[in-house]
Structure 1
């Protein structure tokens, strides 16, 4: 069986705080967008074209496409564009108050567990022996935070990806990569469905979402 090259773009939604408060999210989610190189080139070109078209029609963006900040008009245009592309989205949902204390001792620890469970669940479904994968995560936080999160993801990759899968990790700025903006849009729609019960935007990308893994769906104990 011939090997394949995969590119996996990732994003997170919700905060890492584990406490009960109106300004703290109930869930934390990790999402990935898997796309092949030829389709990625087509997606990049289309999103660049849409950005230019929006600017010409006086809907210019201050920075890059970002589902939370964009106007409803821009959101509609982006979701309509994404519908024409071939990629898969996988999301792992964690209901935070069901997390055992050792999982949430620190925010990087909780982040690492989220990634561990996500990759453990999806890796056997999408990677074969001798495949290559580039995992691209959004650049986040300070240099110290990025270092801790990079170490966490690298450890998870070693544990969860098959031994013969060649893997590389990169941190890129959201505004430098349209595929990161695409997974932001997809994960925002999924997370909004879980956090707020609003599936309005989810319906637009539902056929791209291959898995929504509710990690502690059978758990009943709540720790805070």
Structure 2
């Protein structure tokens, strides 16, 4: 069986309120690849930019990076083979019972994403490393890590899989997921397709979970 790698990140916040700085959507994004060469090239770019004093941060982070840095990162992403799956959750349509706390809503998002992703994209016995970017929130990382692990155990029973929950700065391929999630968020939140168009050909699913829902809960 084949070896596969999945890297995940999310976009949007856990504020369930209208207006202000709250995001309209929570977006869970995964990238699937059989080779992690894109990560090696991103590390090389980071060293090059640091040598020229263009960047000082430990890792690429799309929200914080300058546009000239984003342009170079997206240029590298465009050269490599990987596939993107995204689940889009409009937070106002989420039933209150799905969001009593942040880890519970995170678990729901992962369940709806993984229950189709894992059976559809991987064959029985495939060996898959599933790496999610750790969330550093006031509620603590452990609850989010446990939610993630429980969902993968439930939805990935047919796989030989390993899960890791690390900070995005520890793996450049997690930074690929960060960039893809950011591009998706810009499209859904602002109608800005500039970065989205650079990755659009790699998107194999972009599923709006409650697209037929009518009731808003706030």
Q: TM (normalized to structure 2)? A: 0.95
Q: Within the alignment, does 1:179 sit opposite 2:173 as a pair?
A: yes
**Which of 67, 74, 77 pairs up with 1:72?**
67
1:105 aligns with 100
**Which of 32, 40, 43 pairs up with 2:38?**
43
Shift of 1:120: 1.1
3-state DSSP class of the match of 2:38? helix
Q: Within the alignment, does 1:133 sit opposite 2:131 as a pair?
A: no
Pairing of 1:184-203 with structure 2 (within 5 A): 184-203=178-197
Contact 2:102–2:139 under 8 Å retained in 1: no
**Which of 206, 213, 219 pairs up with 2:213?**
219
Shift of 1:201: 0.7
Q: TM (normalized to structure 1)? A: 0.92
Greater shift, 47-56 or 181-190, is seen at 47-56
Pairing of 1:22-171 with structure 2 (within 5 A): 22-36=20-34, 39-40=35-36, 42-141=37-136, 145-161=140-156, 163-171=157-165
Partners of 1:53 and 1:150 lie apart in 2 by 33
Structure 1 unaligned runs (5+)?
none
Partners of 1:111 and 1:190 lie apart in 2 by 18
Partners of 2:180 and 2:20 lie apart in 1 by 24
Shift of 1:66: 0.7
Shift of 1:30: 0.6
Runs of 4 or more, structure 1, over 2 Å off, are 55-58, 60-63, 142-145
Shift of 1:200: 0.7
TM-superposition CA deviations, 1:103-156 (whole Å, max 9, x none) = 111111100000000001211221111112111111222696221112111221
3-state DSSP class of the match of 2:79? coil
Shift of 1:158: 2.4
Contact 1:51–1:61 under 8 Å retained in 2: no
Structure 2 unaligned runs (5+)?
none
3-state DSSP class of the match of 1:61? coil
RMSD between superposed Cα atoms in Å: 1.5
